[in-house]
Structure 1
Amino acid sequence: MEVPGRNPAMTAHAASVDLTLKELEREVKSLEADLARLRAKQHDAPQHPVAQAELLKAALDEVTDSKPFLPFPGSVLPALLALRRTQETIAQSRVFLASHKADVEQAQRQLESDQSSFRDQRLLAEALETRLQSLREDLNSTVGMQPKDGVRKRKDELRERKRNYDKETTKLLASMNKFIDDSLAAMLAAEVLGGPVVGDAMDLDTDDLAAGFNSQGKLNKPKGGINQDKRQRRIDQIWGAADDQVADGGQEDEVAAAGNEMRQLTEELLNRLVDASGDGSASYVKLPRESAAARFLVRSKVAQFHPKDATRIRLFDFGRELDE
């Protein structure tokens, strides 16, 4: 008869556990009785080596011929043994993983470093192969040509290459200015005004910047109209008065001021890099103040501060470093 409120499966499991315990107790008592009997006969053990060997052989034959202990079909002992073995395996695996964690992390870092080096070497090999192919083509094209004709051809090629470089430079500058005006300037202005770092907030407009940010870097809620005179004084104090003021009342907003600062800094850095002619120490630009634009260039891995003077910054000369 089932007890109300009891799960039949739980009742059957409890009964199986009880039977298993009783079975194990009987087996333990049987083994203890055998052990006591053997201890009682211990004084009758033969002393001669041959007799001892025969006794051991007889005991081995008896153990071999005897049926092993097997639990009854419904016993939970096999499941308990399997669970204990599983727990031991899990514990050993955790110890093994913990002892080898540092080695795995080091191997992972080494793998990432090797993969990066391999990519760099492959790119360098491709660039060298392209250069060698270009030199072969130049050599083949000048075979049988008079020296003055070769010089003239080379000059024409250099002029054409310079025109292409100038054209690409113009396109790149236009793209950079568009990126500054459309996206970067607002984020730079927000960082300068105490807001999020460039990249953490993407959707910002001039009205948000005019309201400013609180000490937690969150946008302030605008209270009434914005005092344009106070706003302009803040812009002039941070970025300085604009050289070319916008047409709307001769005033400049935060986005335009931050964009102009970024353009002026990149232009000065590029000009200084060209004038330095490969001299790294001569390519630094002195910053008049701490600048979000400068920090952005450094975080972007295209510029670096002077190791001993954070008010000086220069562009990485990638071409020169590759030549070296």
Structure 2
Amino acid sequence: MMEGVTSLPGDVYKADLDFTLRELTSAIAEAEEAVKRVRATASRVPDADLSAVDSLEIMIKAYNEVAASEPFLPSRGSVLPALLALQKAHQTTEETNAYVASSAVTLDQTKKRVEAEQLGVKEQRDLQAALQKRIASLREELETKEEKTPEQLAKEKAAELKQQKKHYDQQTASLMKSLDWFIENHLASMLAAEELGGPVVGDLTEIDPDELSAGFSAHGKLKKAKENPDDDKRQRRIDEIWGGASEPQEAKGKRKRDRDEASAAGSEMRDLIEQLLNQTMESGGDSSAAYVRVDRESAAARFLVRSKVAEFHPKDAMRLRLIDFGRELDD
């Protein structure tokens, strides 16, 4: 490097830093020397010779000397003020960041609490509005009843019950129609497959009723249908499993085919459901009288039990009844 070239800013800062370090080291050395002198002086004076007044005078003199002496100030051009300012700024920044982080968590918790409180207030307002509406409705109904005679009230109640019965009858008819469709198009084939030694209902959902004529193997696999099946033998098997009763004439006309395994299983399921419903109605709420005696533990009965719709008698597996769901609510 050529002589006479001005030093770089980094070199100047390093030189100032070295000078400040030497200055602080010198000040520390002077302070340590003063402490040594004070300790040496104090060691020559026994503590027993000092009274409380003497100790107080010594402290007063020391404070006065410190107050009269010039404070330690860094020399001109020292980087100590900048370092102290930087340290203070860094400390303030760290404290501010920590406070901001803690405030963010507190703010988030406060917002969640406010949202929960607002939701609670909304629910209380909705509940209050519903109660006020219900009270107004009851008052209006009470005022209307007071204006009417008992005969008028009885007629209105009878008309209301009649309308409810009509509504429930329509719903029952719609449900029975849907149930019959489900049995005919889905459940009957699966019930027949289970009766013939195949998988239980639900394990094999896609079953062609025409394929059931061949039956199932000992491993539960569907056998291959023969080209010329023995219809008489097949009919005897159907009669042995499901009995010789035929389906109603309207059902035959609707399906337009002879009685096969699927239709026989579907007919058994419909008959069993009808018996269970009728017996439940006739029992009049007596659960012990709601049982129906079955000839065998059929696939239809097992399916109703697995579906939590019916249950066997705890001591007689040949007796079956519907589960009284409404009784649990009444109790």
TM class by shorter-chain length?
A: 0.5 to 0.7
Q: How does 1:84-233 map to 2 (within 5 A)?
A: 136=138, 139=142, 141-233=144-236
The offset of 1:205, in angstroms, is: 1.3
In the alignment, the residues of structure 2 paired with residue 189 and residue 234 of structure 1 have an alpha-carbon distance, to the nearest angstrom, of 12
2:238 is equivalent to residue 235 of structure 1: yes
1:7 corresponding residue in structure 2: none
In the alignment, the residues of structure 1 paired with residue 278 and residue 313 of structure 2 have an alpha-carbon distance, to the nearest angstrom, of 18
2:324 is equivalent to residue 317 of structure 1: yes
* Equivalent position to 2:306, from 295, 299, 306: 299
Q: Secondary structure at the match of 1:219?
A: coil
2:145 corresponds to which letter in structure 1?
T
Q: How does 1:64-79 map to 2 (within 5 A)?
A: none
* Equivalent position to 1:266, from 273, 282, 305: 273
In the alignment, the residues of structure 1 paired with residue 280 and residue 221 of structure 2 have an alpha-carbon distance, to the nearest angstrom, of 38
In the alignment, the residues of structure 2 paired with residue 202 and residue 276 of structure 1 have an alpha-carbon distance, to the nearest angstrom, of 36
How far does the alpha carbon of each residue in 1:269-312 deviate from its partner, in whole angstroms, 9 at most, with x for none?
00000000110000000001121000000000011000111111
Q: Is the 8 A contact 1:189 1:254 kept in 2?
A: yes
How far does the alpha carbon of each residue in 1:204-241 deviate from its partner, in whole angstroms, 9 at most, with x for none?
11222111000110101223321111111100110011
In the alignment, the residues of structure 2 paired with residue 292 and residue 321 of structure 1 have an alpha-carbon distance, to the nearest angstrom, of 28
How far does the alpha carbon of each residue in 1:69-91 deviate from its partner, in whole angstroms, 9 at most, with x for none?
xxxxxxxxxxxxxxxxxxxxxxx
In the alignment, the residues of structure 1 paired with residue 246 and residue 157 of structure 2 have an alpha-carbon distance, to the nearest angstrom, of 44
In the alignment, the residues of structure 2 paired with residue 249 and residue 179 of structure 1 have an alpha-carbon distance, to the nearest angstrom, of 18
Q: Is the 8 A contact 2:246 2:259 kept in 1?
A: no
Q: Which protein shows a greater Rg?
A: 2
The percentage of aligned residue pairs carrying the same residue is 53
1:148 corresponds to which letter in structure 2?
E
1:283 corresponding residue in structure 2: 290
Rate the CA distance shift 1:223–1:288 in 2: closer, same or farther, 3 A: same
How far does the alpha carbon of each residue in 1:147-204 deviate from its partner, in whole angstroms, 9 at most, with x for none?
1111111010000000101110000000000000010000000000000000000111
User: Structure 1 residue runs of 4+, over 2 Å off?
Assistant: 133-144, 242-251
**How much is the aligned-residue C-alpha RMSD, in angstroms?**
2.6
Q: Secondary structure at the match of 1:314?
A: strand
2:177 corresponds to which letter in structure 1?
A
2:236 corresponds to which letter in structure 1?
R
In the alignment, the residues of structure 1 paired with residue 208 and residue 144 of structure 2 have an alpha-carbon distance, to the nearest angstrom, of 57
